[in-house]
Amino acid sequence: MKVWAWGWVLIFALALSTRWAYALSFPANVQLQDVDARGYQALALNLLNGHGFSLNTEPPYVPDAIRTPAYPLLVAFIYAIGGRNPLHVALVQGVIDSFTALLLTRLVARLVGRPRWGLVAGGLYALNPTAWRFCNDLLTEIPLAFTLTLMLWTFVRYLENRRGMWLVFSGGLTGLALLIKPNVILLPAILGLAVVLTLLRRDQTMQVASGKWKVAGGKLPATFHLPLAIASLPILVALLLVFPWMVRNRIVFGRWFLSQAFESNLARVSAVATLIHVQGEQVAPWTPRWEAIYSGIILQAQARYGADFISTPRTGPEADRAQIQLASVATDILHQHPRDFLLAHLEGFLRSWVPQEHRFWYQVLGGRSWESLGSEEGVLGQALERFRSDGASAALAFVWQARIASLPPLAFSLWLGWIVATLISAVLSVRGLWRFRDQPAFVCLCLATIFYVTFLPGPIAYIRFQVPVAPMFIVFVVGGLAPRSPFSLSTAGIDPSGLLL
C-alpha cells in the first residue's frame, strides 16, 4: 500500500475515533435535545410504526411537508437495523463524517497537487470539534456536509475533463441535498451558474457542430444558449430526483411544492424577528418571549380568516391552508416594516459569525454554564464602541476586566482559543481565495454555497448552519497554507460541448 494510502486510513481512523469517543461520553438520548432533532425522531418513528410522514406523536397523524424525506428515512433505516436508539444515529453519522474527512483529503490533494496538503485538510476536519458536536445531534447537518463535499468533488472532476457524467452526478447530489434539507433549494441554480462561468471564460474557443463558438473580450456571443443548455443539465437532474416527493405533496396537499418550510419560517422566524426589532428588544429564538410574539401572529391570522383558519389541523390540506394563511399575515408584517426585517436578518447573520463555541465547550469541559460566570455579553462589540468613544486604553481595560481578570483559566483559554483560531482561519481563507482566483467557477460555487447556506437562517443563524459548508472553508484555509495550486481548467483535447460521456 502506498504511503499516502496509509495517510488516508489514518485520517479516517482519527476522524471516526474522535467522533465515536465524543458520542459515547454523553448520557442516553442527549442527541434529542434540539427541538428539530425531536421532530426528525418523530418522523422516523411514525414511518416505522406505519403512521406516515407525520410530526405528530399521537393521533391524528397529520402529514408533514415542512421537512423533506431523506434524513427521516435514514434515521428510520438505522432504527430498523440496529434498534431505536438515537446513539446509533450518532455513531452512523460519525462514519459519514469520517468519509467527509477522507473525501476532503482527496479533494484538496487534487486541487493543490500535493498529497500531503490533502492530509493536512483531512486532519483539520477530523479534529474539528464542532463536527464532533453535531455528529451527536439528530440533525441534518452531517449528511448534508458529506453531500455538499461530494458535489464539490464531482464538479472539480467535471472541470478537469468536462465529462458530462460528472455534471450529472453533481446535479443529482444537489437534488439529494434538497431532499435532506429543503432550505438549500437554490443550490441547483448555483451549480448551474458555476457551469455557465466555466463555459464563458474569457478568450475560450469552443468547437461546435456549426463551427467555432468564441467568447472574445468578455462579450457574450449570440450562441449563448449553448452554455445555458449545458448548465440546465444538473438542474434537470436535481428536479428529476425531487419530482416524486413533489408528486406526493400534490396528492396529499393539493398543490405542487418542495416544502412548507418557507411559509413556516416567514411566520415562525422572520415576522417574529421583525417585530422584535421594531420594539427594540433583544430576544433569543424559541424563548417564552419569542413564542409569545409568534402566538400574537397566530391570533392575527385567526382574526383575519375567522372560522376559515384552523389552528389545530387534522388533515394535510387543513395544515397546508393554515401555513399559507400564517404566511400571508407574516408577509404583511414584513411589508409594513421592510427596514426592520432586513436589519433583523442581517444582524442575525453577522452575529452568527462571532465565535460562540467556547460557551458550549466550557459547559462540556467545565461542568458549568457560561452564563453562571456572570460574564459580559458581546465583549468584542462593546470594546469596539469604547474604542470609538474613549480610545484604545478604555477598550483594552474593558477587555481585560471582562475576559481576562474575571474568567477562570479554562474559560479564558477557550474564549481566546476560538478568537485566535477564527482570525487565523479568516486570514488563510482570504489568501486561499486569492490563490484560486484563476478558477472562477470553482470559487463561485464555493462562495455562493457558503453565503447562501449561512445567510438564509438570518435571525436564528448560529454555528449549526456553518457545519455543512465547513469542508469548503477548509479547502480555502489549506489553499492559503499551501503553495500556489497547479489545478488547471485547460480544455485542450476535451470535447468543447462539455458533454463527453
Output the pTM of the full model: 0.90
Res 8 pLDDT > 50: yes
pLDDT of the residue at 169:
95
Q: What whole-number distance in Å separates Cα of residue 448 and Cα of residue 459?
A: 20
User: Is the pLDDT higher at 368 or at 495?
Assistant: 368
Return the domain boundaries, the chain. 1-139, 162-255, 261-351, 357-405
Q: 146 vs 99, 107, 152, 334, 476, CA distance in Å?
A: 8, 13, 10, 35, 17
User: Is the pLDDT higher at 37 or at 354?
Assistant: 37
Chain centroid offset of residue 280 CA: 29
DSSP per-residue codes, 154-195: HHHHHHHH-BHHHHHHHHHHHHHHHHH-GGGTTHHHHHHHHH
pLDDT tens per residue, range 451-473: 999 999 999 999 999 999 999 99
pLDDT of the residue at 380:
67
Q: What whole-number distance in Å separates Cα of residue 321 and Cα of residue 126?
A: 45
pLDDT tens per residue, range 150-188: 999 999 999 888 788 999 999 999 999 999 999 999 999
Closest by Cα among 442, 501, 441, 445 to 199: 441
User: 76 near 70, Cβ under 8 Å?
Assistant: no
Task: Give the rounded percent of residues in the chain with a pLDDT score beyond 90.
Answer: 68
| Mean pLDDT lowest among 352-361, 429-438, 476-485 | 476-485
pLDDT tens per residue, range 46-75: 999 999 999 999 999 999 999 999 999 999
